Structure 1
């Protein structure tokens, strides 16, 4: 059985409406997003991603083998997320769920009102039965996100930025959605170093707004350093 990928949102009418708003926001913030500094930041991110891919290539090969041995192929999962200026992209991760995870989720939400309420509130489950044993380890150590280095290399993500969100989540951001759409989502960010899954959804949105409004090289470096500490401790990861 092949794992199902999320539907491509590029044909979604709701997305087109948000893209129009994103373009208007981009014109208002063109001085920042189109500056030489922004282009330099992109190149530095891509260069760093290439070096990290070379560094972690042996580890990524081992992880891919473990995922394949436990539950077969594919070893990568690409879920559509909304990027800078409303452009959809496939956010890559090592697959941490069973192949029939979508069917498992539907069945769980149909029979468990508490799980359904948690999913509608947070788009996450505290005790998620879809996660494989190796998947729990990958998520706890954040190793499942290493393939996102390819997203950074392709210019779809940044090393540091707001957490990548789905089209369904975008309306929940309210006016903060224009903050989110003005930058590239990141592999790490304020949410990841400020409690991660221990925060509420509204707190996540506020952290994304704060990052965009206070964005600076110093803040990016601070987040990268704090990320190392969070990954080592496994804080808020599940």
Structure 2
């Protein structure tokens, strides 16, 4: 799976978050904490980071002679690097929606490879009651692929609102359901397993068009129990 962005872009942003100067170890940790790049299929990613910095610094023997972006902040061999002033990102620089979408797809791929127990543990560790929003081409919320995949598996191929089976199978042969945040993220809802349900496309659209209180209550109950609400058939009519 390809990286969602170049290592150079990621190193610059990570180093900027560290105050425009940091040791290799802190740079590695910050990149890992950001969770944007694909690490599992790139086991030598730390070497890629080192190469990216050293090939873009006249303080390194590996310098390509092109853009001189980084400098050795404490002398050669110390492993502490800084960003030269012209290359420092402006404050609050937005991340493109394409990068966020690619990050989500990478996490989605990882989530599908986990067992049910691993997935629940991962979803619980990643859920947040206050999801981060970023300015891309539009204001969007970061969704967690592990929470989403857990909600779909929990539904067992049945819409948690109308209690009908998924209308079709997707290309991977899985029941096609869409995840929905009962309390919308834009309204302060959390990206949590207790606020995320799996719906058929019709019910998903219905929730975004009508968003009826009785349906929300039924879905919150379904999310907590892991089953379709016993009264959902009455509520849909």
Is the structural similarity TM-score above 0.5?
no
Q: Which has the higher contact order (CA 8 A, sep 6+)?
A: 1
TM-score (norm 1): 0.24
- Structure having the higher helix fraction is 1
